[in-house]
Amino acid sequence: MGELITMCSSPALIGLGIVPAPGKEEPEVDLHLARHFIDLLTLLDEKTAGQLDEAETKGIQQALHELRMGFVQIQQASQQQADAPTDPSQHKPPEDEAEDEAEDEAGGETEAEAADTPEPQTPDDQEPDAETPGDSETAEAPAGDD
């Protein structure tokens, strides 16, 4: 049974990017591959329930626990990388950040900040606020209620 657990665990470890695939130097993450072999090992555990000795049961459950924890960690890390901004203009080298901080302290504005800063709105550009219950005295009366 130990060999069968290893036969299912090894491809799962490759899919998680923990172990490089045969013939490759760098590991690559393939969550679909990892999930497939974790599911296969889960199926093996379910189908052999009650038929294995204590050591085999412990071995398969330990392997499943470790693989599932690894899967969750890799999946969360992948999600965080996907959520991170990929626009290189949003990632400033440290020396640019120091210049920006110096300009901010001096009251200056960078070109990027000037382009991103919206123009201040004049009272004519602003829409009137919605009437609140306490504002009925100051609000204009509707046009048809004379």
Average pLDDT over residues 90-97: 54
Q: Where are the beta strands (DSSP E) in the chain?
A: none
CA distances from 69 to 9, 12, 13, 138 (A): 13, 12, 12, 62
Helix pair 31-47, 54-83: axis angle to 10 deg: 160
For 35-85, write each residue's pLDDT tens digit.
999 999 999 999 999 999 999 999 999 999 999 999 999 999 988 888 876
pLDDT for residue 136? 46
